[in-house]
Structure 1
Amino acid sequence: MKSGKKPLSIWLLITFAILGLFIIFVVFPIVLILYKSIIMEDGSISFAYFAKFFSKKFYWSTLINSFKVTIASTLVSAVLGLIMAYVLRSVKIKGSKYLNILIVISYLSPPFIGAYAWVQLLGRNGFITRILNSIFHVQLGGIYGFAGIVLVFSLQSFPLVYMYVSGALKNLDNSLNEAAESLGCTVFQRVWRIIVPLVTPTLLASSLLVFMRVFSDFGTPMLIGEGYKTFPVLLYSQFMGEVNTDAHFAAALCVIVIAITLIMFFLQKFIGNRLTYSMSALKPMEAENATGVRNILAHFFVYAVVLVAILPQLTVMVTSFLETRGASYTGQFTLQNYKNILMPKNAITIINTYKFGLIAILLVVVIGVLVSYLTVRKPSFLTSILDTLTMFPYIIPGSVLGISFLYAFNKNPLLLSGTATIIIISLCIRRMPYTIRSSTAIIGQISPSIEEAAVSLGTTEMKSFIKITVPMMMAGVLSGAIMSWITLISELSSSIILYTSRTQTLTVAIYAEVIRSNFGNAAAYSTILTITSIVSLLIFFKVSGNNDISV
């Protein structure tokens, strides 16, 4: 007699398998962090570690410092990104296609590389600092502290606002702008009264993304903060410092960070879901030829901003070919920096970056495609949970993820600490959302009737997915995968926590060389990373068939 139970479908099994992976590598480490934050050395439950943080100014002042830096950087990024988006959408700027590429490159480069490059330019012994000191007979203190951190973060983050606002402006009906002009409104009045209100939801959403990114970064304030210590720096020093480390206190700090980033994430989701609206661009905004002063000012502003934003990348490329003595450059051309990093003991760092990155990106593509298919084609309570869990590693800072991994996987049966596996897993789950989102968007455009027709002709649902759906998704999947690749090879926050001498990657090597004042080697490593990002970006444009970087 046959059982009346319906057999488990292959898709349900896949859902359980992926859900299990994320429970092990996302939920379990985070729950362990929460547990450690309230457990005392004697095993009792207490909130003493949280009380310790909020009772001492030395600790809570770092949180205030982080908010100051983050708010200032977000405001500057929002204003700069908005102006850049409007100018490039409304005025024909010569070479705008290449300017777009340079803007993206400045965004994709890790912030701490920008910090290191600005030290070379505006540090106490920086190139520009020496020139200014000699011309004005002063002794400038350099870029260090609050102002320097804000400068680096703002120049590195405004492209994100620019990309989002540029996309919003593309969908804006320009007839509203023309009507205001016919009523006598000036350019400033039209921008302030019409453009800004229409793009405000997008501006706020992108600004919140900048806020989350800046708040969790520790590389930049670690390099140029000096006495201005931020919360991520405190977290790193409490967990990885040479003296006075406290694992339970570090866990409490992680919980505070998670709470703040979750609040910002849900706020961003609220703005994205509740305050956005569709604009029907019956007459889309098009860039027009400007004349006179307006044309000169538009070109000068755009070129100046892009030049300053890309200056860190240009600096590291140039200095990678200069001879160094200690922390100073002699000005002599040399290839010694590249010979140093290509020595067998150092070349492993480059090999690790590409090897770990390629393995991670393969996992990202396979799991990302399956997750996007499940959430779009097989919606259920389980797939909804899965979709949320895949976004969680993107929300929380990389340093928190790294610390939680060391807590969770430093003993049997899952002894992964110190291995390449733990690095690859962290890279994979941290950067998977890019591929999932692009795959979800493309699968939403594929009619289910195509798969249904294949099944009705006798093929299995899985074979239909592999032979029909996946090939149709591939362009969108590859676009997201390339963006995931660019961001994962630039990952520092989690890698600096998880690496060993055998698993060091490019970003960790750059950071270590800067700390040791081996600026020549750091520049050479940075140049390889930058060139890799540029080539990957060009491949992205080729695959997507679009040079428009708007989101």
Structure 2
Amino acid sequence: MVTSMKRKFSIWNVSALIILAVFLIFILFPLILVLKKSIIDPHTGELTLRYLGKFFERKFYWVTLINSFQVTIVTTVLSVAIGLPIAYLMRKVKIKGSRIIEILIIISYLSPPFIGAYAWIQLLGRSGVLTKFINDLFHVKLNGIYGFPGIVLVLTLQSFPLIYIYICGALKNLDNSLNEAAESLGYSSIQRLFKIIIPLIMPTVLASALLVFMRVIADFGTPMLIGEGFRTIPVLIYTQFMSEVGGDDGFAAALCLITILITILLFIVQRLLARRYSYSMSALKPMVAEEIGGFKNILSHAFVYVTVLLAILPQCVVIFTSFLKTKGGQVFTGGFSLESYKNIFFDKNSSVILNTYLLGIAAIIIIVVFGIMIAYLTVRKKNALTSTLDTISMFPFIIPGSVLGISFLFAFSQKPLLLSGTMLIMIMSFAIRRLPYTIRSSTAIIGQISPSIEEAAISLGASETKAFRKVIIPMMMPGVIAGAIMSWITVISELSSSIILYTNKTQTLTVSVYTEVIRGNFGNASAYSTILTLTSVLSLFLFFKLTGKKDVNV
């Protein structure tokens, strides 16, 4: 009896219960409030569908859903159409400068999409450099990069690197003997690509396409900056919520509920498709990049170079413009100056930089601790409790940042859980948003550690907890640290939830970039963006240094 009680209240079950309690407070409780506010009349307390009906009855609202699907589907298709051939070419053909190209692709992915939107405004906005040049040269009057085409351009150039990263990892596990066998049977290069290679990597294509889809449909900054009259769901959620904070917020909750249901459905569809097209591959003879000549070589290099140049161009633009002289911070007057940096460090609220780093580090500590614990519990201590924990931990993966931000304000704007306006609510939003990725990577790491190593430590007299602390954690740490660095880069680039939760005391770099662009202070926005970009680049090089890797393929 005593032994049974000890097992029930072991340190592992207690740890699982504590983590579950945190999840109930910061994941399920906010989502339940979203559901409640969207279907319960606040005055009568009765069930109502008027908030949901309001969305579908008025064209102004439901058109935004169509707009979101249009942008997301086109962007996802284009991202796959660009990322897949570049990944294939980089694995199949010896591209000169391939190491630098891979780093540039990763950097372009790590930069927030709204920075790309701002940079393209500088290039192709109504007063953009390229717009003026084209108008003067061809005597036309272009209206700039606004609306649907601009949103798709920015998000595609920022999303295809994710496809590239995933597919490169899949191609590394592809046995090239299958490709050679098809070639010996008379298949052309194109036939082998579509009939052998793509079917084998289809699960990876679907998984990466889903990630792009989820990221694009939840993106707030890009359509807000260059969408103008072309509204998407995240923009509608933000504008409706911000205009209804002091009054009826039921409609904002209904919009959040609709978005959550859509993302859940997409997640389920992807899982079903991935299962159907699942293959196990082992690269007994991996693909090796080969020299090719003639027109094919020129075309391959041109395609890779031009695409990567367009992808990295926004980062180059913001760095360059951050050193230009401005008039009142809004108009670039020519010549170079450190005026923008002087503004953000001395004349503006310089704490935003420190806030970004402090909030990011605090969130990463929570992510690492929870990620290790949850991964260990779900792999080594399987039971109903840890299975529940594993399921709930995936919820943030399918919740857009703006929805999470609004749900947090619903849940933590009154006592006894009054957290709104504090650093803690920002930290927890960052940690909850990025935790699923660290859990998945930590789970993969533990799966590679043989249980016999832990058993050997226990047989030598160590307790389970000591074996975990002294054996498992040290073995996991290199991979966990690498994953933490990549999570750190995504945390400091977070905008969707930050723009809803921040106050003057908790403002971050991403919020500062956004607010400066909205105000037209492009010099300051460029300086903030440059600091954010350089932080991401340095973090990436630290990742390479600590892991000894040459890429971040998955």
Q: Which category of TM-score, normalised to the shorter sequence, fits these structures?
A: over 0.9
Alignment of 1:115-154 (within 5 A): 115-154=117-156
SS at match of 2:5: coil
1:363–1:428 CA contact under 8 A, matched in 2 = yes
Distance 2:443 2:206 in 1: 24
**Aligned residue for 1:34?**
35
Deviates more, 1:312-321 or 1:175-184: 175-184
1:261–1:396 CA contact under 8 A, matched in 2 = yes
Is 1:47–2:35 an aligned residue pair?
Answer: no
**Aligned residue for 1:199?**
201
**Aligned residue for 2:506?**
503
Deviations 1:46-103 (A, max 9, x none): 0111111001100000000100011110110010011111111100111111111111
- Following superposition, the deviation at residue 345 of structure 1 comes to 4.6
1:368–1:436 CA contact under 8 A, matched in 2 = yes
| Alignment partner of 1:362 out of 365, 369, 380 | 365
Alignment of 1:222-237 (within 5 A): 222-237=224-239
1:401–1:494 CA contact under 8 A, matched in 2 = yes
Distance 1:158 1:244 in 2: 40
Unaligned 5+ segments in structure 2 are none
1:498 aligned partner, one-letter code = L
Distance 2:157 2:458 in 1: 52
2:364 aligned partner, one-letter code = I
Deviations 1:499-550 (A, max 9, x none): 0011000000000000000000000000000000011111111222111332
Distance 2:502 2:172 in 1: 43
**Aligned residue for 1:254?**
256
Distance 1:85 1:305 in 2: 12
Is 1:537–2:540 an aligned residue pair?
Answer: yes
Distance 2:396 2:202 in 1: 27
Deviations 1:203-225 (A, max 9, x none): 12211111111001111000000
Distance 1:245 1:93 in 2: 58
SS at match of 1:414: coil
| Alignment partner of 1:482 out of 471, 485, 505 | 485
Distance 2:284 2:472 in 1: 33
**Aligned residue for 1:6?**
5
| Alignment partner of 1:391 out of 389, 394, 413 | 394
Deviations 1:365-409 (A, max 9, x none): 111111111111111111111112222112100100000000000
**Aligned residue for 1:25?**
26
1:292 aligned partner, one-letter code = G
**Aligned residue for 1:73?**
75
**Aligned residue for 1:337?**
340
Deviates more, 1:306-315 or 1:449-458: 449-458
Is 1:417–2:416 an aligned residue pair?
Answer: no
- Following superposition, the deviation at residue 227 of structure 1 comes to 0.8
Deviations 1:435-485 (A, max 9, x none): 222211111111112221222222221111111111111111001111110
Is 1:277–2:279 an aligned residue pair?
Answer: yes
2:16 aligned partner, one-letter code = T
Distance 2:525 2:494 in 1: 16
SS at match of 1:434: helix
- Following superposition, the deviation at residue 312 of structure 1 comes to 0.4
Deviations 1:144-202 (A, max 9, x none): 00000000111010011111111222222222322333344332222222222222222
**Aligned residue for 1:381?**
384
1:164–1:206 CA contact under 8 A, matched in 2 = yes
2:103–2:551 CA contact under 8 A, matched in 1 = no
The verdict on how the C-alpha distance between 1:47 and 1:468 changes in structure 2, with shifts beyond 3 A counting, is same
Alignment of 1:316-331 (within 5 A): 316-325=318-327, 327-331=330-334
Distance 1:137 1:34 in 2: 54
Percent identity over paired residues:
63
**Aligned residue for 2:439?**
436
**Aligned residue for 1:464?**
467
1:92 aligned partner, one-letter code = K
SS at match of 1:323: strand
1:74 aligned partner, one-letter code = T
SS at match of 1:283: coil
**Aligned residue for 1:524?**
527
The verdict on how the C-alpha distance between 1:142 and 1:244 changes in structure 2, with shifts beyond 3 A counting, is farther
1:205–1:271 CA contact under 8 A, matched in 2 = no
Distance 2:141 2:25 in 1: 55
- Following superposition, the deviation at residue 242 of structure 1 comes to 7.7
1:239–1:246 CA contact under 8 A, matched in 2 = no
Distance 1:407 1:420 in 2: 17
Distance 2:246 2:425 in 1: 26
2:34–2:256 CA contact under 8 A, matched in 1 = yes
| Alignment partner of 1:61 out of 56, 60, 63 | 63
Unaligned 5+ segments in structure 1 are none
The number of aligned residues is: 550
**Aligned residue for 1:176?**
178
Distance 2:373 2:504 in 1: 34
2:200–2:279 CA contact under 8 A, matched in 1 = no
1:323–1:330 CA contact under 8 A, matched in 2 = yes
The verdict on how the C-alpha distance between 1:184 and 1:328 changes in structure 2, with shifts beyond 3 A counting, is farther
Distance 1:265 1:133 in 2: 45
Distance 1:372 1:482 in 2: 18
Please provide the CA RMSD for this pair.
1.5
- Following superposition, the deviation at residue 3 of structure 1 comes to 4.8
- Following superposition, the deviation at residue 241 of structure 1 comes to 3.1
Is 1:512–2:515 an aligned residue pair?
Answer: yes
Distance 1:246 1:143 in 2: 35
The verdict on how the C-alpha distance between 1:525 and 1:280 changes in structure 2, with shifts beyond 3 A counting, is same
Q: TM-score, normalised by structure 1?
A: 0.97
Is 1:213–2:215 an aligned residue pair?
Answer: yes
- Following superposition, the deviation at residue 23 of structure 1 comes to 0.4
Distance 1:530 1:462 in 2: 40
- Following superposition, the deviation at residue 245 of structure 1 comes to 6.8
Distance 1:447 1:198 in 2: 29
Q: TM-score, normalised by structure 2?
A: 0.97
Deviates more, 1:237-246 or 1:460-469: 237-246
